[in-house]
Structure 1
């Protein structure tokens, strides 16, 4: 890995402060669209640097770092945590609690590394604010809430983000991943999948378990639907296309000798192409309706929970930023990624303006962990990236990307 001393843009004192940012954020996560303390922490940092800012999309924070005439560049860092109980053994482990929309109290953890994203962007911002003689233009700092629920980016757009902030010409973003710290992966074109999540409610006729002839059993109906849904990918989608259909929850009944009158399940769909997405979603609706008809049950209810857009990296902008990252981090530390079936709402920020965007991944674990065969993945209760060189890599990548577009 390239030695960080080759890139003196982040002084040692600031690297220590970045570590403090990260530890504070990691120990104090908040659930999606509830990031009140996190937003206040970011605002205090922007205030200390004399950077104007405003709230957007509820708990989102938009900073505007102006420095004369020049390009306008956006950079996004998401900041929400997850309902996960952390089991990692670090001394800044989260013991936070939060409340879901349904009132359930849950443990909260930064189990997807959003704390590293925020700490890295805060640090890159501080470098640029302290070195205004070397660049000119405007940086739009997008500290986004609610990525995990696909709510945050659209909430910021709907709240007038681009009516209140200068229009970015390009928007960058990044995400820590289970990979070698100090390395970056980026790919042009379709990078991360569409994701559609639905809740399905099945209706039946309740009866005693000994009198099935008097029932319409929603559990049997649901089991038939769940099994049949798996044939969409295996029998309706071309082998060279990508799709995933997952039923993540199934709830029904209160007692073993009562056939209930309803059942509920939730499903998640991942696709990489518009046509495939449309086909899969239509097939799901067809199967749900047909199985209900076959069971003599009423038409089920389908509720859309959330939707992630396709995350598309503009090819020209990606080629340019790949070269920039290789110069900043070392040729050997920047590789080409494979498209991922994970999802991101980052793309909504650029789509609202019709401008290009690029999103890349950076590694978060030491070589021993990577080679151990038991490296934690995102959303694991053990997903705690090593602070260094992970943070330095994220901050350096953000700084390099921004400097590459700002006038010198």
Structure 2
């Protein structure tokens, strides 16, 4: 859910974020890269099949039964102890390899309620019921890339288990898109039934060049809240609006007037966004409905800006109803994910190895405007690093940056990562990050 990664800052602008990271690592990076590549050469054909199968059979939040079962089978085949149905459809896979830290690696399971239009031969044609409505389902955020990289990282780490000691804790989390899966897993005992990890890692794909890895110290995503406002009126015939109280008009005015809160009530230097994603109401062109519901998302970084915007939403919605002589609207604000904050020590520890391995392909990332419930693990006290990987041909991205045809971002129906280089980069980066967190005791 992190399309905000799509525009990386220029390296010069963000250099202070990376300047403290030395260009060397404690592990033998050249030897480790060669070992990772050997594993990739052996395992990629099966990972490609896994990716395309997951892509063609996406499932929505807390419906990921087939997806979770496929991943559980993959991890059991590797020798992991797998516990299913953690947080409804989530799973936890544990592999112990002597004494050492416990390292958590997280992937997401869920897809989006939208139609895929990528034209890929393995494109999704799946449909399901979502909130009482039949909808298409598509992996247009790239969680299938994450899952294939997750399994591939597990395979790679086990092929190199003479180079690390400790415990792998691989979790497959449901319902990231609804910002509820991490909470569900934690509520179901993720850090009590299983050992709380010493470190945690996660990744997300972005519409940048494949082969690149981007990270930053500190905040890397936004706070997220959702709004649902039901405007109630009095229905009637479209030819006699004077006999009705029109909730469509109230909703339309609210959508426009809400932007005044953003542009006039917060400082232009502070980030804050309100976007309306859905308006539901009515059944026919000549019937003014009884009610209309407006759904939207609110993104902020700072608590005071969040409070100001939430107050503005409530005030504006009530004002629209008063102007129409309508009953007070039903206003529901749902708190979503908090900002993901990368731990400075973990980021530096990982960046030493990643810079040695990727060179100038390790990029500085801006703060994302999207949200991520990976923050729940961070807020539970686990030092963590969340980073991004690119998915598109570098020449296409360069042309887009120069003003040419734009590449499709996450959540676009045309989002179509190039699988092999993207998945391989994800495996390489995640494997190196995990190894950087383990106590290096193996003989080299």
1:6 shift after superposition: 4.9
Q: Report the equivalent of 1:387.
A: 419
For the pair 1:367 / 2:394, whether they are aligned, the reply is yes
Q: Distance in 2 between matches of 1:4 and 1:343?
A: 36
- Determine which of 293, 309, 320 is the counterpart of 2:338: 309
For the pair 1:96 / 2:126, whether they are aligned, the reply is yes
- Cα gap change, 1:364/1:15 in structure 2, threshold over 3 Å: closer, same or farther? same
Q: Flag structure 1 segments of 5+ consecutive residues without an equivalent.
A: none
Q: Report the equivalent of 1:227.
A: 256
For the pair 1:9 / 2:36, whether they are aligned, the reply is yes
Q: Report the equivalent of 1:298.
A: 327
Q: Distance in 2 between matches of 1:212 and 1:382?
A: 41
| Mapping of residues 294-373 of structure 1, within 5 Å | 294-304=323-333, 307-328=336-357, 330-352=358-380, 354-370=381-397, 371-372=399-400, 373=405
What is the RMSD of the two structures over their aligned residues, measured on CA atoms? 2.1
1:107 shift after superposition: 2.2
Q: Flag structure 2 segments of 5+ consecutive residues without an equivalent.
A: 1-28
- Determine which of 301, 310, 314 is the counterpart of 1:281: 310
Q: Report the equivalent of 1:64.
A: 94
Q: Report the equivalent of 1:31.
A: 60
- Determine which of 391, 400, 410 is the counterpart of 1:378: 410
- Determine which of 176, 179, 183 is the counterpart of 2:212: 183
State the number of aligned residues: 404
- Cα gap change, 1:86/1:250 in structure 2, threshold over 3 Å: closer, same or farther? closer
Runs of 4+ that moved beyond 6 A: 2-5
| Mapping of residues 247-258 of structure 1, within 5 Å | 247-258=276-287
Superposed CA offset, 1:16-50 (max 9, x none): 22222222222221112111111111111111111
Q: Distance in 1 between matches of 2:396 and 2:31?
A: 21
Q: Contact 1:170 / 1:350 at 8 angstroms: preserved in 2?
A: no
Q: Distance in 2 between matches of 1:69 and 1:313?
A: 26
Q: Contact 1:182 / 1:362 at 8 angstroms: preserved in 2?
A: yes
Superposed CA offset, 1:287-345 (max 9, x none): 112322232211111234561221222233223222222123x2210011111111111
Partner of 1:374, secondary structure, is coil
Superposed CA offset, 1:349-373 (max 9, x none): 2322x12222111000112321243
- Cα gap change, 1:115/1:289 in structure 2, threshold over 3 Å: closer, same or farther? same
Q: Distance in 1 between matches of 2:252 and 2:50?
A: 48
1:235 shift after superposition: 0.3
For the pair 1:397 / 2:425, whether they are aligned, the reply is no
Q: Distance in 2 between matches of 1:335 and 1:96?
A: 36
Normalising by structure 2, report the TM-score: 0.86
